Amino acid sequence: MGKKILLTGGAGFIGSNIADALIGREDVDLVRVLDNLATGKMENIQHLLDHPKFEFIKGDIRDIDTCHRAAATMDMVCHQAALGSVPRSIEDPLTTNDVNITGTLNIFNAARLHNIKRVVYAASSSTYGDSLTLPKVEDTIGKPLSPYAVTKYVNELYANVFGALFGLELIGLRYFNVFGPRQDPNGAYAAVIPLFAKAVIDQIPPFINGDGEQSRDFTYVLNVVQINQLALFTDNPNAVNQVYNVALGERITINQMWHFLKSLENSDIDAVYRQARQGDVRDSLADISKAKQLLGYNPEINVFEGLKLAFNWYKKNLFQ
């Protein structure tokens, strides 16, 4: 018998890419997506709606009854639902807290009550906070720099408790600056790569916060899809009740990334520099050796390949 998997946030950018991969697996019988479409989009999963292995529930993880309905009869949970964005959390910390902490607790508790042992959840590199140590190693974190970072750290604390008290197998994946197809370039909280892609295609100068020399370990979404599957299906007893960095293990600056995207279209437009953004870390680089060792993680797409793939997707799908 194949597995039945509850995928929260499955209409989102990362979640829908995970949904595609899970649907394609022979050892998966059902993918049930729970999404309130606050940041997710039906167009991301439209092609799956008629698939015999796919179900969609429009609902909110803040609602306990919805979480129970979604978890019923499931074998595993892949929990991607969250309200992302550091700036959004600074503007509206209460909603970020409700979704990311209360919502996640609801999902963990529904898993417990429905006897679902394996729960993989999206954690965040924002948990490293003000720690200046590079590369980032899972056991060494600093103080959070934003309400968003607080919420993602609390998720890890709850996961530890649920693992210890209730025997759940929880695996947290600390994402580092994920990008790729279906990441939304529109709205006040759009991420930097889709914004830059849009700028190159529209020939409009983008804003760069600060001097652009801040660095990030940008991670193409298919690498994230890979590790979610590894975490869901691992039978290594040492791999569960852990958190892992999910990244490439390399970093580039915002300026380097902008110049590379410009080069794809031979564009000569210049970025406009403005004040650094509140709550942002200066540099980010992951040590991914733990994920390699315990889960067999092997990121296959580097940042420049990923940028090309993402840029071509935006050009084809969004900006024509």
312/315 Cα distance (integer angstroms)? 5
Most distant CA pair in the chain, distance: 58
Strand-pair category, 3-8 with 28-35: parallel
56/6 Cα distance (integer angstroms)? 10
Which residues, 6 or more positions from 85, have their beta carbon under 8 angstroms from its beta carbon? 148, 189
Token reading at 298 = 């092997």
Which residue in the block uniquely carries the two structure tokens 């060792």? 293
**What is the Cα gyration radius of the chain?**
19
Given 121, 148, 158, 220, the catalytic residue: 148
For residue 148, indicate whether it is catalytic: yes
The separation between the first and the last C-alpha atoms of the chain, rounded to the nearest angstrom, is 44
Q: Could you tell me if 209 and 248 are in contact, meaning their C-beta atoms sit under 8 angstroms apart?
A: no
Residues identified as active-site = 148
